[in-house]
Amino acid sequence: MNSSDCTIKEMFSQLGYIFEVPNYQRCYVWEVQEVDAYLKDIDYCYEQNQYTHKYDHFFGQMILRLTEEDRASRQHFEIVDGQQRLTTFTLTIAACYRLILKKSTTMDDGTKAKALSVLKNIGEDYLISAPRSGSICRRLTLSIHDNPSLFAIANLIDVYDPKETFPQATYESQKRISVAYSRIYSHLEKKFENFETTEYANNIKKFIDISADSLNVVVIKSTTLGYSYALYQIVNDRGVLLTPAELLKARTLELLSTNNALLSECEKIWDDILIDSGNSTKNYLIWHYMSILYKYPSKGKLHELYEKHILNCYGKRAISNDEQEDLANSIRLLHKSVIMCRSLSKGNIPIDGIHTQIQDMYYSLVVGLKNEYAIPVFLNILKVPTEELRTKIINFLTVLMAKFFFVAKTMGGMHPNSIASLYFEISKLISNTPTDYQLCTEKCHTKIIQKGSFDIFKAKIEHEIYSRQATTSSKYLLYFLELFYTSKKYTVSEILLRDNSMPVKFADISTEHIAARKLYDKDGIDLDQNERNYLGNLTLIGRELNNLLDDKKYEEKIPIYTVSPYIMTRTVASIASWKKEEFQKRQDKLVKKTIEIFNI
C-alpha cells in the first residue's frame, strides 16, 4: 500500500488512470446539497486561479485498488473510496461537452471545426482513453445499477440533438445521477452564457483544466483485496455515511473473496438487497434481526451486531471453506427475509390462499396503524413449514394482533417497548408451539389488563372519537364494527365466512358524520358540536363521497346511505329522522358492541 498527492487533472489526463466501481460498493448517493457544495468548490477554484496565484483545494482522499495494467500500459483501478466525487466530476465534463455541442449549432464552419477539435481533446483527456495501440475504453465505469445512466450521459457524440433524452431511471441512485447532471448542466450553462461564441469551446476547456488542476487529492493505492474492503468500511464520502447494509456487503464479500462462485452469487444477492433506500434496507435488517433473536437490536452499530449474532464473522479476516458456506447461507436467508419484508411493509402477506379480508386487516394493522413491530412476527409465521398450518396461524394472529394493537397502543397509549416484548413472546410461541392459540390470546389479554389499556379504551370510545387531526381511530373502529356488525361472535371464523370477493378495504373507506360535522343554521338536528364526533354519529362511506355529503342535511343523505355497500350505513338509512334520541340509542348500541368486539 502506498500514498501520493496529485490533482484530478493528473489522474485523468496525465497518468491516464482507468476507474471502475466494484459491485460491492454503494451506488451514487449524493443529493442536491452535496452537488451544490461541489459546484461551489470548483467555482471558487476557477475564480481564484483564473487570474491570480495558484490555489489548491483539497478534494479528499481516493482509495484505489490496482486490478491490472493492460497492453496500452494503462493502469486499471477499483475505486474503494471516491466514486461520488469522480462520478460528479465526470458529469461535469459531460455537461461541458454538451454545452459546446449545443453552442456549435450557432458557429460558422471554421469556428465549429475548432470547437470539435477542442471536444476531441476534452473527451480523450477526461471521458475516454484512445491509445495508439489497444482498445478504446471509458475512463469511469460505475457499478451494475448506475452504469447505464452514466453511459447514456457521458456517451460522446459529435452532433447536438435538442430532443436527446436519457433512459428512464429504475433505481434511486439513477435518479440521483440524473438530478445531479441536470443541476450541473443548468449551473454551467448560466455560468458560460457570456462567453463569446468564437472562444466558447476554448474558454470551457480552460475552465475544466483550471478546475481539475486545482482539485488536489491524496491517493492511497493497494493491490490487496482484503485491505481494500477493510478501508472501505472505515471511510465515508463528504459526510454521506455508509449504511449498515453497505458495510455488511463489503465485510461479507471480503470474507468470500477467495471463493469465486460464492462471491459472485452473494454480490448479486447484495445488489438486490440494496435496491431500496438506505432507511428501508435498515428496517429490513432490523426486522430480520428481531425475528431471529427475539429482541430489538441494541444501540450498538447494527452491522457489528449482525457480524456477531447473525453472520458469525465478527473480527475475522479469513474463514474456512465450511465457514464460507455458512456465511453464504446466512446471506441467502437474509435475502429471503428482505424479499418478504418488502411485501409485509406495504401491507401485503406474500403467500397465496389468504382470505382477502384477512389480507386487508393485515394492511390496516401495518399501514393503517403503522404497527411495524408486527412484521418480525409475520416473518416467523412465514417460516412455518406446512401451508395449512401457516394459513391458520396467519388468520388467527392477524385478527388478534389487530385488536390488541388498536386497544393497547392506538387507544391505550401503551409504550412500544411493552408491545415489542409481547410480540417477541408470540414469535417464540410460533417457533416452539405454533398451535397454542389460547396462550397467545391470554398473553395479549394479560398485557392489556396489566397496563390498564382496556379501561382507557372503554373511556375513550364513550366520548369524542373523531378528530380531524387524527382520523385513524374512528375509521378503525368503524372498520371493525362493519366487519362484525351482524355477528354474535367476534372471532376469526366470522371473518372467514365473509364473501372473499367483497372485502371491506381499509384504504377505500372514510368516516362519515351522519349529522354534519359543523353546526350550521337551520340544521334541524339537536346534537351539540362534541356529540357530532361521538361514535353514535359516525358511519362508513367511500372516500370519494365523503366531501360530497359533508354538509348535506340528513334527509338528503338517506338515498345515498340506502345503496351503500356497508351494512351499518344502510341500517342508518332505515331511520326516518336523525335527532338526539336516535343518536343516543345508536351510541349506546355501538359502544356496547365495540367493547364486546375488542374484549380480547
Query: Which grid cell is 474?
Result: 374512528
Instruction: Check residue 53 and give its pLDDT.
Output: 62
C-beta separation of 154 from 93 below 8 A = yes
Phi-psi region of 312 (alpha: psi -120 to 50; beta: other; left: phi over 0): left
Query: Which grid cell is 448?
Result: 392489556
Instruction: Check residue 240 and give its pLDDT.
Output: 62
Mean pLDDT per block of 10 residues along the chain (600 residues) reads 84 88 81 94 86 78 85 84 92 94 92 92 86 72 88 83 78 91 95 91 93 89 67 58 84 87 92 89 96 90 92 89 97 98 97 95 97 96 92 96 97 94 93 82 94 95 90 95 94 92 93 85 76 94 76 87 94 93 96 96
Phi, psi of 579 (to 5 degrees): -125, -175
C-beta separation of 476 from 410 below 8 A = yes
Instruction: Check residue 507 and give its pLDDT.
Output: 94
CA gap 114, 93 in Å, rounded: 18
**Residue 557 buriedness (CB in 10 A; 0-12 / 13-18 / 19+):** buried
C-beta separation of 570 from 561 below 8 A = yes
Residue with cell 428512464: 168
| 581 Cβ contact list (under 8 Å, min separation 6) | none
Parse the chain into domains and list their residue ranges.
2-222, 243-345, 356-460, 462-600
Instruction: Check residue 134 and give its pLDDT.
Output: 58
Residue with cell 358540536: 529
The amino acid that residue 493 corresponds to is S
Instruction: Check residue 458 and give its pLDDT.
Output: 95
Q: What is the DSSP letter of 464?
A: B
C-beta separation of 422 from 447 below 8 A = yes
Phi-psi region of 238 (alpha: psi -120 to 50; beta: other; left: phi over 0): left
Instruction: Check residue 68 and give its pLDDT.
Output: 84
The amino acid that residue 402 corresponds to is A
Instruction: Check residue 521 and give its pLDDT.
Output: 58
Instruction: Check residue 243 and give its pLDDT.
Output: 85
Q: How far is CA 95 from CA 90, 91, 102, 125, in A?
A: 9, 6, 10, 15
| DSSP state letters, 290-310 | HHHHSS---SS-HHHHHHHHT
How many angstroms from the chain centroid is the CA of residue 66?
Answer: 34
The amino acid that residue 427 corresponds to is S
